Amino acid sequence: MDINMEIEKIVKYRNASLLFKDRKNEFALASIIDRIKNDYKNYNFNFSEFENISLKQMDKVRHIKKYKDFSTEEVLCIYLKRVLDRKFHIKYPNRNEYMHSLFDMISALSKMNDFSIYRFDFKDFFNTVSSEYVFKKFILASSLERDQLDLLEKFVKETKYAYAGLNTSNIICEIIAKHFDEILTQKFKHYGLIFYRRYIDDGILIFNTRIDEAKCLSIINETINEVFDDKGINVIKRCKTRINESKSKYISIRDMKSNIGSITLNGASRKKLDEKEFDFLGYEFRIISWLYKKKMGLRFEIVFKYGITQQKIDKYTNRIKKIIDDYIKDKDVELLRHRLKAFTHRTVYQVQRNNSMIWKSKGFISNYTELRYRTDSLTKETTTFLKKSILNYCRREFRGKLPYFLKGKEDESIYSLMNNLENNRTLLFVEPIGINQSGLEKLCKQIGIETSNKKYEDLVGEYLIKVNVGH
């Protein structure tokens, strides 16, 4: 893996990922590549010189570290990520795959007499993982080339932690978290563990029997200490990784029916006993326990309801609000139409990565695709959001005078989240199976994007950015 060749590939890939209007010309690219090669040769770089950026997300502010675009530090950081990816072959978690498997497990739980659920997350995960610790405990003994190890050692000493925003942070955290997963599942296997998934800093455990909440927390903390705080590893900055106990959630179905013997129906055919909820990766799960009067006596049953968390409802409501607010300012009804259509559809496109094409899927429907199979079991809040959010906000802001494209039957509208979720409506920007070049040019012209002498993938990028999907 020649570093000079990798520098060229990284710089050219970074440039190709920019919008057409922002790309460097060949002369500028050659100059950047030469500068970075010379900086590397002369060790003229400092990985501690990153920018501190604050990103506002709803009512929270997220702090990240970032190197300047096309800086030597940025390109070498990307290079180190590629080195680690190729050496450790870490399989990054796939959110939709994880959620599909969780929903399958939930379906099985409804038929089980006993189970427990423990939901946990790490507090400020990336910023608490010592990159130097991971290097010494897991990377140093790997068969990397000497110059790669030297560069990595300089990197971890100057960065200290796997800060959010740095290209290497995901792989560094996954290297150590993989060991956490292995040891945790081993420790819980004697407690009836039937399901475990961890998506970055969020984890969920499901057992086929009751396990004490305190026992769950104790074993998790024991595993954290074993993996993240090995006293035999001598580093300046140690891991500060710990569980965010305020966000942990424990549910035992045995506890939910513990007082069943003292319940009387008083002539009713059924009675609601209890209701618990937990969330995972933006989805909300509610477990409702009922006591039914049957001919053979009383029967205990549980029902699951599904939805998205209130935090996510607020997040997507704010996106709708921004789309409408932008229209009120610019009065561009076609841009409003395209943005609402993109918001309410699944968007699929491809991007080139090295010598292969990577499929991308974005949007609310893509993020919450599991709900389309369970629309008859949605929470009330989620149903209202899916059916009414766009129309209600538009009616309020436009004082009942809806734009032409929002008039008609609500349940048949292609701007309805519920309708599009049920039908999995998709904007497919992939030739030749989706929108073709002429169709894409037509879409772009409708919202003021110049189309002359632009490739298909360039127009896709400009269109998706202008309609607020991102690329």
- C-beta of residue 43 within 8 angstroms of C-beta of residue 158: no
pLDDT value of residue 470: 84
Q: Residue-wise pLDDT tens for the chain (471 aa)? A: 799 999 999 999 899 888 888 899 999 999 999 999 999 999 999 999 999 998 876 567 788 999 999 999 999 999 999 999 999 998 888 999 999 999 999 999 988 989 999 999 999 999 999 999 999 999 998 889 999 999 999 999 999 999 999 999 999 999 999 999 999 999 999 999 999 999 999 999 999 999 999 999 999 999 999 999 999 999 999 999 999 999 999 999 999 887 665 666 666 677 777 899 999 999 999 999 888 777 666 778 889 999 999 999 999 999 999 999 999 999 999 999 999 999 999 999 998 776 778 899 999 999 999 999 999 999 999 999 999 899 888 888 887 788 888 887 777 788 999 999 999 999 999 998 999 999 999 999 999 999 998 999 999 999 999 999 987
Identity of the residue numbered 222: E
User: Is the peptide bond between 93 and the residue preceding it cis, with omega within 30 degrees of 0?
Assistant: no
Q: Where are the domains of the chain?
A: 250-308, 311-467
DSSP of 323-338:
HHHHHHHH--HHHHHH
Are residues 193 and 204 in contact, defined by beta-carbon separation less than 8 angstroms? no
348 has which bridge partners? 361, 428
Dump the DSSP string for 239-289.
Answer: ----B-GGG-EEEEHHHHTTTGGG---TT-SEEEEEEEEEEETTEEEEEEE
Is there a contact between 445 and 437 (Cβ–Cβ < 8 Å)? no
Cα–Cα distance, 234 to 319 (Å, whole number): 47
Q: What one-character DSSP code corresponds to residue 36?
A: H
The 3-state DSSP class for residue 209 equals: coil
The predicted pLDDT at position 352 comes to 77
Integer-rounded Cα Rg, in Å, for the chain is: 26
